[in-house]
Structure 1
Amino acid sequence: MSSPEDRCRLVLIMPEQAGEDGGREALAAALRGGDVASVILPQYGLSDADFQKRASVLVPLVQDAGAAALIAGDSRVAGRVKADGLHIQGNAADLAEAMERHSPKLIVGGGGATERHTALEMGEHRPDYIFFGKLDGDIKPEAHPKNLALGEWWAAMIEIPCIVMGGTALESALAVAESGAEFVALREAVFGAGQGPASAVAEVNAILDEKAPRFAD
């Protein structure tokens, strides 16, 4: 699998409802579609036991495809299913605790940065990435303007990579790329797509290959 390191790359967010197989077929199809940097698996409303059961099926799929599997939920589940990392949805203190306990053994990234001050507080703990937006925040075709603005500000100032949540349209990935963000996160645009997850991932990568700005060395 090619890894276009010189442009914005795709991060997948697993949806809450993904069929009786817990999303296995949909995720496998998406990963066949082209380059995916990582997959974030949110816990949503699942119990730890049910979440662990789902993650134990999905995490190996992600890793076999050469992507990083990140757990957004109970850190014990991440350890039990041998995930690559943790997505922390709390505040700077939660992120600091997770960094102390799990980094550098695991990738640790921070979500919940809704404005500049919070983002900078989180950045002080040197996470592996900062996430702008909500994991289920793709409610419109386009990425939220506030998240795009935060991503553009962060990418211009800070070396820590950022992920910006896109919208429900595949084309929203380009606006994220143009902000300078290293990664665009998509959920419904891929898993709710009429053409299927594989075609959606292929199309996103084609858009980014053709039109996304390249990072300077």
Structure 2
Amino acid sequence: MAPQLYLITPATADLHTASATVAAVLNAATFSALLVQRGSLDDAAYAKLATELVAMGQAAGCAVLVENNTALAKKIGADGVHVTEGPVALKAAIAAIKPSMIVGAGNLATRHDAMTVGEMNVDYVFFGPLAGASDTNAADLAEWWATTFEIPAVLSDPAASPTTDTRGAEFLALSTSIWSAADPVAATATIVDALGAA
């Protein structure tokens, strides 16, 4: 069974480029979730980017998430937050917005990390980096989690290609390989076609 798709946006302050590119990719495939990546953006630039992309993602049928900031998520009408700052921040996010909004847990490097957050009423566990190179350890962790626990696993493979093995994870997160392609729409379609045939 093919995984659902989770799209991680490019972290850029260029709203025009981000909007146009993300819109095109959202139209190329069915994505269940859209994470607005912060990268090195400051608070103001990130808030502008997230505000721009929330309505777009939701119109495309995505649950739109922001990184770590529950106040921003509530202010701009996002669907939830993706927490990468550890169990204390995760606990605070859960207390602030659950159960009406989504809370996902990322930045998980070990099985212990994953089991710790898995006991905290999260909506998904996320293995792998948001951008950059692939992480073999993340793929192994995602496979272990998906075969052992019921909370959905997201495998983030920034270098995803048509030959990517999703290792049984319920979601595959796409990022760098899409945005760095000469034609992001074509790159997305190629991966989606390969997943459908897997």
Confirm or deny a common fold (TM above 0.5): yes
Ranges in structure 2 where 5+ consecutive residues have no aligned partner: none
Identical counterparts, % of pairs:
32
TM-score normalised over the length of structure 1: 0.86
Q: Can you list the C-alpha shifts for 1:92-131, whole angstroms capped at 9, x where unaligned?
A: 2221221121111111000011000111000001200001
Q: Structure 2 counterpart of 1:205, which letter? A: V
Q: Is the 8 A contact 1:42 1:73 kept in 2?
A: no
**How far has the Cα of 1:53 moved from its partner?**
1.2
2:16 aligns to what SS in structure 1?
coil
Q: 1:208 — aligned with what?
A: 195
**For residues 190 and 58 of structure 1, what CA distance do their matches in structure 2 show?**
17
CA–CA distance in 2 between the matches of 1:76 and 1:128? 19
Match of 1:175 among 165, 171, 174: 165
CA RMSD of aligned residues (A): 1.6
Q: Do structure 1's residue 7 and structure 2's residue 2 form an aligned pair?
A: yes
Once the two structures are superposed, the pairs formed by residues 186-205 of structure 1 within 5 Å of their partners are: 186-194=174-182, 196-205=183-192
Aligned residue in 2 for 1:78: 73
Residue 187 of structure 1: how far off its partner (Å)? 0.8
Q: Which amino acid aligns with 1:175?
A: D
Alpha-carbon offset, residue 170 of structure 1: 2.0
Report the residue type matching 2:150 in the other structure. Answer: E
Structure 1 range deviating more: 45-54 or 117-126:
45-54
Alignment of 1:46-195 (within 5 A): 46-136=41-131, 138-139=132-133, 143-171=134-162, 174-176=164-166, 179-194=167-182
Higher relative contact order (CA 8 A, sep 6+): 1
| TM-score normalised according to structure 2 size | 0.93
Q: Mark the runs of 5 or more structure 1 residues left unpaired by the alignment.
A: 1-5, 212-217
